[in-house]
Amino acid sequence: MNNPDYHNSRTGLADIGGRRLCFVCAGQGAPTIVLETGIGDTSATWSSILPAVAQLSTVCCYDRAGMGESDPAPIPRTCQDMAADLRALLAAIPLAPPYVLVGHSYGGMNVRLFASRYPDEVAGMVLIDAVHEDKDIQFESVLAADLIARHRAYLADPSRNSEHVDKPQCTAQLRAARCTFEFPIVVLARGLPDEPSPVWPSAAIQRVETELQREFLKLSPRSTHIIAEHSGHYIQHDQPDLVIEAIRQVVSLVR
């Protein structure tokens, strides 16, 4: 990872107990903003917002195990494994709490599990088109029988996703850890469905996901729901200003 030209930036490989994770941090001040990617992404996914977020406070992003320049870890992986790695990374850098956790896609599962395990260390959260633990079972309400079978087969095989994540186990972990929080949460949801497919019912799937995004509002009495009308799944790419503003709002409330 190249050293970026951000205020007070630093990059490195942090040892978290026999494995190293590659990170980049920038900015200064509290709270520390932590950016968590979706499955298969590296910290580069945050390049469009990192300079602006670094103007708000200390911000850190990283490559999860086996991604980018980070060392691999035993597989399959679960959200519990990834949340434990994140906590070890923050201790190794070191970056003290409180944290504002920003999770995109499957990274939303990781930050929610982190917050449920270590609630005293988290002061706020931004969920960017985050995955809900009931997504796959809800999808079955709009899928034909053959697609249900194919989707279940995909979920059951960790080798079929780029980080070898055991998705059924992750779902079980999130359901077991369900709780509510008192800190502020901004829920950013996509406004645009995937491209129409002759096989996959994109519009129906989008309706299911839109309803599940509203479920995140139950996580905290201080939750806000924003629909990114002109964005697909990667809101940080399509409407980066919305993501930056959501983070700014949460940081301001925390302070």
Q: Give mean pLDDT, residues 168-180.
A: 97
Tell me the pLDDT of the chain averaged across its residues.
94
pLDDT in tens, 192-239: 888 877 888 888 888 999 999 999 999 999 999 999 999 999 999 999
CA distance 16 to 157: 27
Q: Name the residue type at position 219.
A: L
pLDDT digits (tens, 9 = 90+) for 118-163: 999 999 999 999 999 999 999 999 999 999 999 999 999 999 999 9
- Per DSSP, what are the bridge partners of residue 127? 103, 187
Instruction: Give CA–CA dist 86/96, Å, rounded.
Output: 12
Nearest CA to 163 out of 73, 87, 103, 46 is that of 73
Rounded CA gap, 104 and 97, in Å?
Answer: 20
One CATH from 3.40.50.1820, 3.40.50.2000, 3.40.50.10090, 3.40.50.620 for 10-254: 3.40.50.1820
pLDDT of residue 49: 97
Residue 250: per-residue pLDDT: 98
Q: What is the pLDDT of residue 194?
A: 84
Name the residue type at position 15: D
- What percentage of the chain reaches a pLDDT higher than 90? 89
Averaged over 174-193, what is the pLDDT? 95
pLDDT tens figures, 33-66? 999 999 999 999 999 999 999 999 999 999 999 9
Q: Where are the domains of the chain?
A: 10-254
Eight-state DSSP code of residue 118: -
pLDDT per position as a tens digit, 76-101: 999 999 999 999 999 999 999 999 99
Cα gap 194→200, rounded to integer Å: 10
